[in-house]
Structure 1
Amino acid sequence: MNEGGVKVGERVLDLFAGVRLTPTQRRIAHCLVEHAGKAAYLSAAEVADLAGVSQPSVTRFAIALGYEGYPALRRVLRELGGGDAGPGAEQNAMQAAVAAEAEHLGRLRDQLERLDDVRRAADLLISSRPLPVLGLRSAGPLAGYFGYFAGKVHPDVRVLDSGGTSLLDRLDQARTAGAGAMLALVLPRYPRESLDALREARAMGYAVVAITDSAVSPAAEHCDVVLPAAVGTRLVFDLHTGPMAMAMVLLQAMCDADPEPVQQKLEAFEATAARRNIFQA
């Protein structure tokens, strides 16, 4: 998808924000985002063929978004695909990438006007003993970042940032030890091993919270709570500013959900850090 197509895709993605979609509907949504440049000029039957679903599914998808049918949705898609003249046209590629991240954060800010999902996720995670945090491949550093800070307020955080045959063993061990919920960070290109781990975690009885790039991510199908945060795609490698911000928002909500024990742990850490002279004054 070229730069103009990315902008249109981002606008299309906004149509699905806050809407709980079925797996079939997520396939349609993903198809419309991926083919944003031409989807607005296709019939319902052509979209269905492109997404690998039935034509009635496309109609039901449009109705689920609040439109009378697919033609009404298609008119909106065409409007979203209009020209985008603005100051961004004068920016170089690096500036445009950073500007797009600022737009992502702006949408995340608006999304956080309603905190129901964030608070529900926080309640699940702060009470889980232990707390597994899954992040493979590109999500590994973000899992480690979250785990580092979460370990200051939670008694037993287990970062799962490597795959292989032992990954499910570690999920089993955490579950046996009493874990009731897990956090999964699943970012494009959506490692199969991450998605398989989510399926297995649900089968084990975990409540699964996911931070992923959109509400129509493949990870969303296997989760109890999805916290979407867009990923920047303007550079050779993705920018994860949005998911990192969402991770820290979630951690703040976890602290707010159980403030007294959190404060005690923070004070104990500060006392230990001072005694051991860990940080430069």
Structure 2
Amino acid sequence: MTDSPATRLQQLFEGHRLTPTQRRIAHCMVRRAADVPFLSSVELAELAGVSQPSVTRFAVALGFDGYPALRRHLREVAPAAADAPAELNEYQQAVEAEIENLRHLASVLADPSPVEQAGALLAASRPLPVLGLRAAASQAYGFAYFAAKVHPDVRLLHEGGTMLADRLDAAARAGATALMCFALPRHPREVVEALTYAKSLGLTVVTVADSAFAPVAKVSDLLLPAAVGTGLAFDTVCAPMLLGRVLLEAMCDGLPEAQARLEAFDVRAAERGLFVE
């Protein structure tokens, strides 16, 4: 499988100690991976919300003489454009971008060990708190809905406010050892604060985020990236959703009773006439 532009960028950044501003630039580049080789330093600075000198310093931190050298490198490693329809409308472009995000996720999953490690951590936590606020609330809800079919105690945390810390306290007191978090842009400050507090309680934080350079990275013990699409008015999140389902599969592998629970649910559902066939 040919590496996607986003994958090549992630590889370029690996091993470099980046400042928060530089991580912001890196995050922006990953999100706009297909466009970056053709952006000026001024354009990239505007997209990332930083100064133009910050972009130059970022390029130097990666080992290049300056931003022009970084851009030349990106153009050299960019694959030749494949034959494609002459014109795609904005909706088709959004679909193509999501397909690219899924290809990137597939390449990341070539090494299954991070997902397997995360699945084991989640399976072992009793209870298992699942956090997602604002844009990520639906991802947390979907994960918690299915997780509850195989895990004995799942606690959904999809509303913020002063009681969020109380719920984390209660989960920790009840024996929780891990926290599952979904974090998507725009990243609420409250999520960073909640993860910081969760770590202070001794919870191991597993996070699905849109990038390895997302603001939640510094307060996550295990971060699994899945890019979002940015071509429409609201972000599209097919890759984070699919990664959540992959994590559920890995978690089931750590729950010996998972299959029995699913079969028992099917029996009860049939007795209640729960679903229309």
Question: Fold-level match, TM-score > 0.5?
Answer: yes
Q: In the aligned structure 2, how far is the partner of 1:29 from the partner of 1:79?
A: 23
Deviation at 1:173, TM superposition (A): 0.4
Residues 229, 235 of structure 2: 8 Å contact kept:
yes
Deviation at 1:253, TM superposition (A): 0.7
1:218 to 215, 224, 243: 215
Q: In the aligned structure 1, how far is the partner of 2:28 from the partner of 2:78?
A: 13
2:231 to 234, 240, 254: 234
1:16 aligns with 2:10: yes
Aligned length: 258
Deviation at 1:24, TM superposition (A): 3.2
Partner in structure 1 of residue 73 of structure 2: 76
Partner in structure 2 of residue 263 of structure 1: 259
Partner in structure 2 of residue 272 of structure 1: 268
Percent identity between the aligned chains? 43
Deviation at 1:202, TM superposition (A): 0.9
C-alpha distance after superposition, 1:186-215 (max 9, x if no partner): 000001111111111111111000000011
Partner in structure 2 of residue 179 of structure 1: 176
Residues 27, 213 of structure 2: 8 Å contact kept:
no
Deviation at 1:274, TM superposition (A): 1.7
What is the root-mean-square deviation in Å for CA atoms of aligned residues?
Answer: 3.0
2:134 to 111, 115, 137: 137
Residues 124, 254 of structure 2: 8 Å contact kept:
no
Q: In the aligned structure 1, how far is the partner of 2:142 from the partner of 2:172?
A: 23
1:202 aligns with 2:199: yes
Q: In the aligned structure 1, how far is the partner of 2:53 from the partner of 2:224?
A: 24
Q: In the aligned structure 2, how far is the partner of 1:257 from the partner of 1:26?
A: 36
Q: In the aligned structure 2, how far is the partner of 1:241 from the partner of 1:127?
A: 27
Deviation at 1:38, TM superposition (A): 2.2
**Structure 2: unaligned runs, 5 residues or longer:** 30-35, 45-49
SS of the aligned residue for 1:246 comes to: helix
Residues 16, 29 of structure 1: 8 Å contact kept:
no
Code of the aligned partner of 1:106: R
SS of the aligned residue for 1:70 comes to: coil
SS of the aligned residue for 1:153 comes to: coil
Q: In the aligned structure 2, how far is the partner of 1:52 from the partner of 1:105?
A: 31
Cα distance change on mapping 1:124 and 1:133 into 2, 3 Å: same
Partner in structure 1 of residue 93 of structure 2: 96
Matches within 5 A, 1:23-34: 24-25=18-19, 27-32=21-26, 34=28
- After TM superposition, the score normalised by the length of structure 2 is 0.82
Deviation at 1:22, TM superposition (A): 7.1
C-alpha distance after superposition, 1:119-144 (max 9, x if no partner): 11111101100000000001111111
C-alpha distance after superposition, 1:12-46 (max 9, x if no partner): 5642159656773564243145374224999xxxx
Residues 184, 211 of structure 1: 8 Å contact kept:
yes
C-alpha distance after superposition, 1:32-84 (max 9, x if no partner): 45374224999xxxxx96586995x865x52xxxxxx2236453234468995
**Structure 1: unaligned runs, 5 residues or longer:** 1-9, 43-47, 63-68
Residues 129, 178 of structure 1: 8 Å contact kept:
yes
C-alpha distance after superposition, 1:166-203 (max 9, x if no partner): 00110010000000001110000001111111111111
Q: In the aligned structure 2, how far is the partner of 1:79 from the partner of 1:142?
A: 37
Partner in structure 2 of residue 4 of structure 1: none
Cα distance change on mapping 1:155 and 1:84 into 2, 3 Å: same
Deviation at 1:272, TM superposition (A): 1.5
Residues 209, 224 of structure 1: 8 Å contact kept:
yes
SS of the aligned residue for 2:233 comes to: coil
SS of the aligned residue for 1:90 comes to: coil
